[in-house]
Chain A
Amino acid sequence: MTEPAPMTEPAPMTEPAPTTAPAAGPGSALDRELHELADKQVALGEMRGSPSVNPVNEPMIRHWLDAMGDTNPAYLDQGVAPPAMIQVWTMPGLRRDVKERSPVDDMIARLTDTGFTGVVATNCEQTYHRPARLGERLTPATRFSGLVGPKQTALGEGYFATWNVTWYGDGDDPVAEMMFRILKFRPRQRASEKAPEKAPERQEPKQPYPLRPAVNEDTAFFWEGVRKGELRIQRCSDCGELRHPPGPVCPSCRSANRTHIVSSGEGVVYSYVVHHHPPVPGRETPFVVAVVELPEGVRIVGNIVDCPTDAVGIGMSLRATYRAMDDELILPMWAPRET
Chain B
Amino acid sequence: MRTLTEDQVEIGSVLPELSIDLTPTVVVSTALATMDFTPVHHDVGIARAQGSKDIFLNILTTMGLVERYVTDWAGPGAVIRRINVKLGVPAYAGDRLSFNGTIVSREAAEFTVEVRGKVSLGDHATGTITLTFPEAS
Q: B66 contacts the other chain (Cβ, under 8 Å)?
A: yes
Q: A43 contacts the other chain (Cβ, under 8 Å)?
A: no
Q: B136 contacts the other chain (Cβ, under 8 Å)?
A: no
How many residue pairs between the two chains, A and B, have CB atoms under 8 Å in the bound complex?
A: 181
Task: Assess whether A10 is in contact with B122, with CB atoms less than 8 Å apart.
Answer: no
Task: Assess whether A84 is in contact with B67, with CB atoms less than 8 Å apart.
Answer: yes
Distance (whole angstroms) from the CB of A138 to the closest CB of chain B? 13
Task: Assess whether B38 is in contact with A84, with CB atoms less than 8 Å apart.
Answer: no
Residue of A nearest to B30 (CB): A67
Q: B90 contacts the other chain (Cβ, under 8 Å)?
A: yes
Q: A217 contacts the other chain (Cβ, under 8 Å)?
A: no
B122 cross-chain contacts in A, Cβ below 8 A: 198, 202, 206, 324
A321 cross-chain contacts in B, Cβ below 8 A: 17, 98
Per-position 1/0 for A62-83, Cβ under 8 A of B: 0110111111111001000011
**Cα-based distance from A13 to B49 in the complex (angstroms):** 9
Task: Assess whether B64 is in contact with A82, with CB atoms less than 8 Å apart.
Answer: yes
Task: Assess whether B88 is in contact with A8, with CB atoms less than 8 Å apart.
Answer: no
Q: B113 contacts the other chain (Cβ, under 8 Å)?
A: no
Task: Assess whether A121 is in contact with B59, with CB atoms less than 8 Å apart.
Answer: yes
Distance (whole angstroms) from the CB of B21 to the closest CB of chain A? 10
Residue of B nearest to A339 (CB): B16
Residue of A nearest to B14 (CB): A336
| A67/B29 contact (C-beta < 8 A), A124-B85, A324-B122, A336-B14 known | yes
Q: B111 contacts the other chain (Cβ, under 8 Å)?
A: no
Task: Assess whether B67 is in contact with A197, with CB atoms less than 8 Å apart.
Answer: no
- Residue numbers of A with Cβ under 8 A of B are 5-14, 60, 63-64, 66-74, 77, 82-85, 87-88, 91, 93-94, 120-128, 191, 194-195, 197-199, 201-202, 206, 306-308, 310-311, 319, 321, 324, 335-338
- Residue numbers of B with Cβ under 8 A of A are 1, 12, 14-17, 20, 26, 29-30, 32-38, 40-41, 47, 50-53, 56, 58-68, 71-72, 76-77, 80-91, 98, 100, 102, 116, 120-123
Q: Which 4 A-B pairs have the closest CB atoms?
A: A195-B51, A338-B16, A67-B33, A91-B35
Further 19 A-B residue pairs, CB within 8 A, beyond A10-B91, A84-B64, A85-B34: A5-B38, A8-B58, A10-B87, A11-B40, A12-B51, A67-B29, A67-B34, A68-B30, A70-B71, A73-B76, A84-B67, A94-B37, A128-B80, A128-B82, A197-B53, A197-B90, A198-B88, A199-B89, A306-B14
